[in-house]
Amino acid sequence: MTLRKNILITGASSGLGEGMARRFAAEGRNLALCARRTERLENLAKELEAAHPGIKVVTRTLDVTDHDRVFAVFAEFRAELGSLDRVIVNAGLGKGQPVGKGRFDANRQTLEVNFVAAAAQIEAAAGIFREQGAGHLVVISSFSAIRGLPGNLTAYAASKAGISAFADGTRHELRRKGIKVTDVRPGYIESEMNDRIGRNPLLAKADSGARALVKAIESEPARAYVPAWPWVPLSLVMRAVPGSLLRKFA
């Protein structure tokens, strides 16, 4: 297995992005971290470099909906670290509302961040990897990508299904270029985005969830449900469950 030394993570100031950054730092990887919240990002970078002497952590402020800035920041990270070995497209939004309730603004924003902005990140990473002739692209999608869901998850599930399909197509495109592409579909893991879930027996703790994410990413599969239990067997159930019962997942 190729050691991916220099790792870029978007949306790294909190949640799954922060958790993955902490795990990779503990393994001695150099990190390129970006997010909108600059202060939190810089504090995280200082903490990781102090805790793990020898690694390099570089940061940039980035709103992923500024597509030109995405390409510029990725290029800056590559120049600063010398190469990018793995890019984790993690920045996302869970702001959807029921369709037809007058909140197209929220659904549009969810689609723009989770699909269009993620596609921009994939384009930027793939361009760099093509030039390098190597790299590992990781797209953090969602268990919700399996099928359409009602209520507040309609736009969210659609955005994640779309970006998973985009990742699949990218994998086929880049397979012969020495570039790997992994579609990661997390279930419920503690994060700011999942605060609305409340108490749920399926909700993984943040630390164990980050550990499972990093383990899956390091294996570099085409697709991974994380944590594997119970989300791998549930992925089979999800495909077969009658539509009338889908609201239980929303």
Evaluate the omega torsion of the peptide bond into residue 230 and state whether it is cis, within 30 degrees of 0: yes
Q: Is the dihedral of CA 70, 33, 115, 129 positive or negative?
A: positive
Q: Report the relative pairing of strands 57-61 and 86-89 from DSSP bridges.
A: unpaired
CA–CA separation, 20 and 186 (whole Å): 13
Q: Is 156 an active-site residue?
A: yes
Nearest to 250 by CA among 161, 113, 159, 157: 157
The active-site residue out of 156, 166, 231, 249 is 156
Helix, strand, or coil here: 153?
helix
CA–CA separation, 197 and 83 (whole Å): 39
Token duo for residue 25? 């730092």
Q: Which residues are catalytic?
A: 156
